[in-house]
Structure 1
């Protein structure tokens, strides 16, 4: 990997899922930064996976919310996305990478929004909580981070998991966005739960390469 640093970034042939998704995210991030802000605001609200939208059109908003990067072109999530998903896709392929991302995105979103619906129904939260702005790739990214850790040597695995854990702990301590603060570690655990799946794929690929050399 060190001898071929370009493999750290996505390519059309080597990592088509990450490459195509990254182009799409760059386009939406650029529009969020430089487009008409009234239109951008409306699109983000329509893409939000808040309780109201999940109740009305769940599939649409679950997909639409993952088309935006919180923070636009300046977001650290976008840079982390390139490295993490590229590394994962090169090891397990685009289909499994997309599956891990989607699973983390959906599970963490539902696990953080359903308690809000319950809280409003029980009168413990204001009805405005049903319409909070919630979008971005961070849950899927955290799931892929957790999954990738299971494919790395022990020192790199625990370094990656420790770094992700520190970020989650900081968010929990700051508590600026409680749902995201709890959703990120949950999404990471979803990725860890995918270790058997991604490791099986790595072993299968290694066997395929060995057979082609015979």
Structure 2
């Protein structure tokens, strides 16, 4: 007799729902899904679970602000009183004590030279103020010697030209500093705001040197040929007019259309008015007028076309 093991019963075929994920992983996945579901409140027996509409919020009254307007969240519906919001403290102004009619306009304040926006113009005006105060309150003997050494007359140009050319532009003949401060604010400060301090100094002193040489060399030649007396070589020749007229000529050249024509006419009238109001009959006034014309046209015809294509300095 042969013993045989019983034939095992056939296993049921696995359905498509049970063939994908193992049982252990399916249970873990089910637990994770149930963990994300927040259980809601259990209704008491005998009641029906009905979704209630969201409560409506009454519109804010005057003087109140919705929290969603403050936080930028559409779900924030709390109401805050207006006085509960933190208001920024106002900045104290040094012009608060000045009457409103006396306060200067901001556009006018930007035209005043300052050490930050126009360091060359501001420093030059400070230096001219110091020399003007020295002429006014210093001893006449000391100031006389300083002016004699700084003058760009024919005598100094023949003996020490560099010293005379450098120092003559730091003095004002009549000591009137305030009119020159206004002129520098109009003719030099705008130039520096556009082209910077280094280029302003280059144009300013190049015009001063060129106009001085153009006027003093003929005087030296006339003295050497005995056409003029030797006393003409001691004329006091100081000032800053050659420099700022050169920068003014460049600014006029940068204009266009009718504005340039008006600027040229105003520049020529300024040169003529200085000559007429000085002493037209004297030879010194003629030499000064020629120097003014050379400086203005040097900036208008030479520096102006060269600087027209130069980009504005970034601030």
Name the TM tier (shorter chain): 0.7 to 0.9
Aligned residue for 1:11? Answer: 114
Cα separation, 2, equivalents of 1:18 and 1:126: 39
CA contact (8 A) 1:112 1:182 kept: yes
Structure 1 pair 75/121, CA: closer, same or farther in 2 (3 Å)?
farther
**Structure 1 position 183 matched with structure 2 position 286:** no
For these two proteins, the number of residue pairs brought into alignment is 205
Unaligned runs of 5+ in 2: 1-104
Shift of 1:14: 0.9
Unaligned runs of 5+ in 1: 210-214
**Structure 1 position 163 matched with structure 2 position 271:** no
RMSD of aligned alpha carbons: 2.1
Q: What SS is found at the alignment partner of 1:72?
A: coil
> Higher relative contact order by CA 8 Å / sep ≥ 6: 1 or 2?
1
CA deviations over 1:25-84 (Å, ceiling 9, x no partner): 111112112221221122111100011111111111111000112221356334212321
CA contact (8 A) 2:128 2:170 kept: yes
Q: What SS is found at the alignment partner of 2:228?
A: coil
Q: 1:145 aligns with which of 242, 248, 256?
A: 248
Cα separation, 2, equivalents of 1:75 and 1:45: 24
Shift of 1:125: 0.3
Structure 1 pair 86/73, CA: closer, same or farther in 2 (3 Å)?
same
CA contact (8 A) 2:128 2:177 kept: no
Aligned residue for 2:227? Answer: 124
CA contact (8 A) 1:69 1:75 kept: no
Whose radius of gyration is greater, 1 or 2? 2
Cα separation, 2, equivalents of 1:11 and 1:196: 28
Structure 1 pair 129/64, CA: closer, same or farther in 2 (3 Å)?
same
